[in-house]
Chains A and B, each alone.
Chain A
């Protein structure tokens, strides 16, 4: 094993020193040339596939791409986006700098931060996408900021998520309106709420949501973590969780695995209050027989955490032109409107809808809203994501405190 590993690493090291990846793709600025080069390419799009709605939408996108741009799109189904990060890393380690197996990856937050830090991404390309201007980036900084990090054109916005609570109105009619009120609520309704086990993404977001509401040093959360201040800033959070856990589902001795697991527990009647990253989650789940139709959605009074999710192109993708064409199509009003429809996925658009042409705006008008869905104006109050280092630091601290029961 050893000689081969050494050889591989030597190759990798020597290629890395050449820095710029070799690529046959035209420069992103020359959009006509990009479209030309994209024709006939196959784009391998690595995307989390745990949700049938997402998969259904990606299938639709693939059909459109074939018909409109002669680009074949293959959905590589992932159970965890970090396995795509691992893949690109392995390829870089082996010195495969221009024929990677991933052309586009659905990404945000800490995965993006990790790939940027290791120089695993292609860019900048976002500014060159004709449809990118429709997001009005000057007035919507969230489409060029990922967990406080500037995207620098290395990822293109795709959709918006925001923490949304939902409850079974047949079981409880007074859901808590703040993190503080939640503590009182679980004391009255023991065993009927929980959050996904850290380091799950949704669970970690709950920690951040709680921290934002509990600490009075909010500014610090938008800077990298300073070790010496961490204890001081997070003390209210741990005190809160210490009080909360005994009243959670299974008395806090076990936690659900993920956001979707929370939904299952709601479906089984084990919980009567839960939350999701997708504002339409509960409504779609009711339509698909997963939740009772007595479920209602709402957002905490002082707002909830929201973020934008993106697509990015690995530095060694052999089909960058096809990938850019796809990223641009994903930003088109038609693709964004289809994505937002409850029949398809229900994921919110990143476009500045009120600035679109009227005919395009009409695409976004939906029929009657679903009784289990949020009222249209409920998402006005969005809290921004803290710096990604907070996610990691909170996860570490949580596991040290509660990782062994």
Chain B
């Protein structure tokens, strides 16, 4: 569906021969190479920095109260939709933003906002910062879900008994075992960061924008012949994402080789203080930034007029909430019902697949890459094809169709979040149950599922958040007739009333936030007397 128009074939627009004009038009675009480089590098750098922060924190983390407090503050961040974080961050770091307001005019002497290019900077630094704020919680949660199977305490204790400093012990003994378990999530982050649209629209460079944003503009151009070029661009985007993945994979291989020396060098303490301090400081900074961004949104949602450089609005009002709330009942219900149904279906599918694999001792198959295709291919490209496909078999826009297309994204994330925990669960538990004469289905219900309660709920919360965050799929496959809180928020964002956008962004963050809270709370209640079963959080 993407490939055909890319080579000039889209009969409804009169393109019925194959040719390369679309590609020539694409190459002729001013700034195309900059767009491509931006997408490629912002994807890689974001992932590298996010992973670095997470690993350093895990290495530094000692299970003290302060570490637990930081951790607890991070997980809800995963629930905040990308667009909401982007809005919050933009308002935080802009020249007229919260940070400058708080130090002006006192420290800076600025009576008017400085004319500095911070948000939408040509190098994409603001975009990368926004992505890092969102990817750190994701990678941290994925790591925390995978860690318990590795028995990290025992590994670290052993290494410490050999004289290794705690941080170094973790890096040398736990991380090499952890990385393979979080590899797929890391790849998903790379794919996402190279092709992200909503955050790039808000924070990314504009002249030229990232490749994905350019593609969206071309697809939306009233000049319908632009669609040929847009399709060619979508194919190019896929190439960029794959190139970034390949680069990362090569980097992995290189580091694997090089790190052998370091791992076996016997160096026990060098750098351990830096790890202990840096790990906590970086994660705390990320958390603090995201929290301030959210606080900025909250402040804006009740702000009256707010002149620079006042640190606080001169008047407060509930007008904005009162104006929005009456109209969001239906979108909220739609969001919730679609998210829950999609998550439930996805959970059944994924657990059935994993259980099947576990019973028959099937290795992870290559076919599973197919599952991740929707995460890697730019949405804007294949969704237009899906709409045509649904229309041509006479399926009209409706809730069920939206649920179906959400499944394309929810299933991979749920699988991603759950599969390693599932596979690594010690098979002996079930074997013991079976040897006691329990039928397999009871062993599944009464032994395996309870043991997996915490990771399963976390995976469901991630899925729910993914479903809630979907914009383009909901809009296109719902034909606009299935309003969700996200479609409302984005439609409102195009009008730029930040106070109303803030209200919607906060509402949009609310549902996934409840989901994550439940995922943390339920295991604590159910396993109130079994600390090891509560999962990592």
Q: Which residues of A contact B (CB under 8 A)?
A: 1-2, 4-5, 7-9, 11-13, 16, 44, 46, 48-52, 55-56, 59, 74, 76-80, 82-87, 89-96, 99, 101-102, 109-111, 113-114, 118, 190-191, 197, 199, 249-251, 253-255, 257-261, 263-265, 267-270, 288-292, 392, 399-400, 402-405
Q: Does B307 contact A292, Cβ atoms closer than 8 Å?
A: yes
In the complex, whether B528 has a CB less than 8 A from a CB of chain A is: no
Closest to A11 in B: B392
Can you offer 29 A-B residue contacts whose CB atoms are under 8 A? A5-B1, A12-B11, A44-B480, A46-B480, A48-B491, A49-B492, A49-B494, A56-B323, A76-B479, A79-B494, A80-B220, A85-B224, A89-B12, A90-B384, A94-B389, A94-B391, A95-B392, A110-B222, A114-B222, A114-B223, A249-B115, A250-B116, A254-B120, A260-B497, A267-B306, A269-B307, A403-B207, A405-B122, A405-B207
CA distance A383 to B507 in the complex (A): 43
Given contacts A85-B222, A93-B388, A101-B479, contact A260 B303 (CB under 8 A): no
CB proximity of A22 to chain B, nearest CB, Å: 15
Q: How many angstroms between the C-alpha atoms of A268 and B95 in the bound complex?
A: 9
Which residues of the partner chain A approach B105 to less than 8 Å between Cβ atoms? none
Chain A binder among B358-366, B430-438, B482-490 = B482-490
Tell me the residues in window 2-36 of chain B with beta carbons closer than 8 Å to chain A beta carbons.
3-4, 10-13, 30-31, 34
The 8 A-B residue pairs with the shortest CB-CB distance in the complex, in nearest-first order: A50-B495, A260-B496, A94-B391, A76-B480, A404-B31, A268-B96, A50-B494, A101-B479
- B303, B396, B488: most-surrounded residue (chain A CB, <10 A): B396
Across the interface, which residues of B come within 8 angstroms of A52, CB to CB?
A: 323, 492, 495, 497, 500
Q: Which residues of B contact A76 (CB under 8 A)?
A: 479-481, 483
- A250 & B117 in contact (Cβ 8 Å cutoff): yes
Knowing A8-B388, A400-B30 touch, does A261 contact B206 (C-beta < 8 A)? no
Contact (A289, B315) CB under 8 Å given A5-B4, A52-B497, A101-B481: yes
Asked whether A1 lies within 8 Å of B224 as measured between CB atoms, the reply is no
B286-316 vs A, Cβ < 8 Å mask (1 yes, 0 no) = 0000000000000000011111100000010
Give residues 196-227 of B contacting A (CB, 8 Å): 201, 206-208, 217, 219-224
**Nearest B residue (CB) for A198:** B207
In the complex, the chain B residue whose C-beta lies closest to that of A259 is B496
Kindly provide the distance from the CB of A43 to the nearest chain B CB, expressed in whole angstroms: 12
B11 x A253 contact (CB < 8 A): no
B72 within 8 A of A: no
**Chain A contacts of B495 at CB under 8 A?**
49-52, 260
Shortest CB distance B219–A (Å): 7
B275 CB → nearest A CB, Å: 38
CB 8 Å contact bits of B354-398 with A (1 = contact, 0 = none):
000000000000000000000000000000110111111010110
Whether B496 contacts A270 by the Cβ 8 Å rule is no
Which B residue's beta carbon lies closest to that of A115?
B222
Closest Cβ–Cβ distance, residue B50 to chain A (whole Å): 26
| Size category, B interface | 35 or more
Q: Is B533 an interface residue (CB 8 A)?
A: no
Docked complex Cα distance between A107 and B441 (Å)? 59
Report the minimal beta-carbon distance from A270 to chain B, rounded to whole angstroms: 5
B224 touches A199 (CB 8 A): no
B residues near A (Cβ < 8 Å) are 1, 3-4, 10-13, 30-31, 34, 94-96, 112-113, 115-117, 120-122, 201, 206-208, 217, 219-224, 303-308, 315, 317, 319, 323, 327, 384-385, 387-392, 394, 396-397, 475-476, 479-481, 483, 487-488, 490-500
Cβ contacts under 8 Å, A87 to chain B: 387, 476, 479-480
Q: How far is the CB of B474 from chain A (nearest CB, A)?
A: 12
B contacts with A: majority SS: loop
* Measured CA separation A267–B121 after assembly (Å): 21
Report the bound CA distance from A111 to B487 in whole Å: 22
Instruction: Please judge, given known A-B contacts A87-B479, A260-B496, whether A7 and B392 are in contact too, CB under 8 Å.
Output: yes
Docked-complex contact B207 and A254, CB < 8 angstroms: yes
Contacts of B117 in A (CB 8 A): 250, 253-254
- CB-based nearest A residue for B479: A101
B392 touches A4 (CB 8 A): yes
Partner of A255, one of B206, B327, B494: B206
A50 with B396: in contact, given A90-B388, A404-B207 (CB under 8 Å)?
A: no
Bound form: Cα–Cα A55–B491 in Å: 11
Are A9's CB and B494's CB within 8 A?
no
Q: How far is the CB of A61 from chain B (nearest CB, A)?
A: 14
- Evaluate contact between B223 and A94: CB separation under 8 angstroms: no
- Also in contact, A101 and B480, with CB within 8 A (given A49-B491, A82-B220, A270-B113): yes
Query: Residues of A contacting B219 with CB < 8 Å?
Result: 86
Task: Give A342 to B126 CA distance when docked, in angstroms.
Answer: 38
Instruction: Closest B residue to A388 by CB, please name it.
Output: B222
When distances are taken between beta carbons in the complex, the residues of chain A under 8 Å from B96 are 265, 268-270
A130 to chain B, nearest CB (A): 29
The CB with the most chain A CB atoms within 10 A, among B10, B95, B481, B491, is that of: B491
List chain B residues, Cβ under 8 A from A50. 491-496
CB distance from A49 to the nearest CB of B (A): 4
Expressed in whole angstroms, the Cα–Cα distance for A83 and B438 within the complex equals 57
Task: Tell me the bound Cα distance from A85 to B94 in angstroms.
Answer: 35
Q: Given that A59-B327, A78-B480, A89-B12 are known contacts, is A8 also in contact with B315, CB under 8 Å in the complex? A: no
The CA-CA distance from A254 to B219 in the complex, in Å, is: 23
Tell whether, in the assembled complex, residue B222 and residue A111 are in contact, meaning their CB atoms are under 8 Å apart. Answer: yes
Q: Is the CB of B493 within 8 A of A93?
A: no
Q: Using known A-B contacts A253-B207, A254-B207, determine if residue A94 contacts B392 with beta carbons closer than 8 Å.
A: yes
Cβ distance A252 to chain B, nearest Cβ, rounded Å: 9
A15 to B397, CA, bound (A): 21
What residues of A have a CB within 8 angstroms of the CB of B387 in the complex? 87, 90, 94
- The reply to whether A197 and B389 form a contact with Cβ atoms under 8 Å apart is no
Contacts of B10 in A (CB 8 A): 93
Give the CA-CA distance A87 to B307 in the complex, in Å: 42
Do A404 and B208 touch (CB < 8 A)?
A: yes
> Quick one: closest B residue to A49, CB to CB?
B491
- CA–CA, A48 and B113, complex, Å: 31
Interchain nearest-CB distance for A238 vs B (Å)? 15
Residues of A within 8 A of B475 (CB): 83
CB neighbours of A118 from chain B (8 A): 12-13, 224
Bound Cα distance A117, B201 (Å): 30
* Residue in chain A with minimal CB distance to B398: A101
Q: How far is the CA of A257 from the CA of B95 in the complex (A)?
A: 16
When the two chains form their complex, are residues B479 and A269 in contact, meaning their CB atoms are under 8 A apart?
no
Picked from A48, A392, A399, the residue with its CB within 8 Å of the CB of B223 is A392
In whole angstroms, what is the CA distance A114 to B34 when docked? Answer: 30
**A2: B residues at CB distance < 8 A:** 4
- With a cutoff of 8 Å between Cβ atoms, the chain A residues found around residue B476 in the complex are 83, 87
Residues of A within 8 A of B4 (CB): 2, 5
CA distance A96 to B390 in the complex (A): 10
Cα distance, A110 to B219, chains bound together (Å):
15
What residue of chain A has the Cβ atom nearest to residue B14's Cβ? A118
Q: Which residues of B contact A11 (CB under 8 A)?
A: 392
Which of chain A's residues have a CB closer than 8 A to the CB of B115?
Answer: 190-191, 249-251, 270
If A258-B496, A267-B306 are given as contacts, then 7 extra A-B residue pairs at C-beta distance below 8 Å, sorted by A number, are A83-B220, A85-B224, A86-B384, A254-B207, A259-B496, A261-B496, A405-B122
Question: Using Cβ atoms and an 8 Å threshold, which residues of chain A touch B11?
Answer: 9, 12-13, 93
Contacting pair B222 A113 (CB below 8 A)? yes
Q: In the bound complex, do residue A197 and residue B13 qualify as a contact, i.e. CB atoms below 8 Å apart?
A: no
Q: Kindly state the separation between the CA atoms of A257 and B198 in the bound complex, as whole angstroms.
A: 13
Q: Which A residues are in CB contact (< 8 Å) with B492? A: 49-50, 52
A93 to B307, CA, bound (A): 51
Q: How far is the CA of A74 from the CA of B122 in the complex (A)?
A: 41
For A101, what are the chain B residues with a Cβ–Cβ distance below 8 Å?
396-397, 479-481
**A56 vs B500: C-alpha distance when bound (angstroms):** 13
Complex contacts, B497 vs chain A, CB 8 Å: 51-52, 260, 288, 290
**A8 close to B389 (CB less than 8 A):** yes
Which chain B residues border A251 with CB–CB below 8 Å?
115
Q: Which among B224, B394, B495 has the greatest number of chain A C-beta atoms within 10 A?
A: B495
Q: Which residue of B lies closest to A82 (CB)?
A: B220
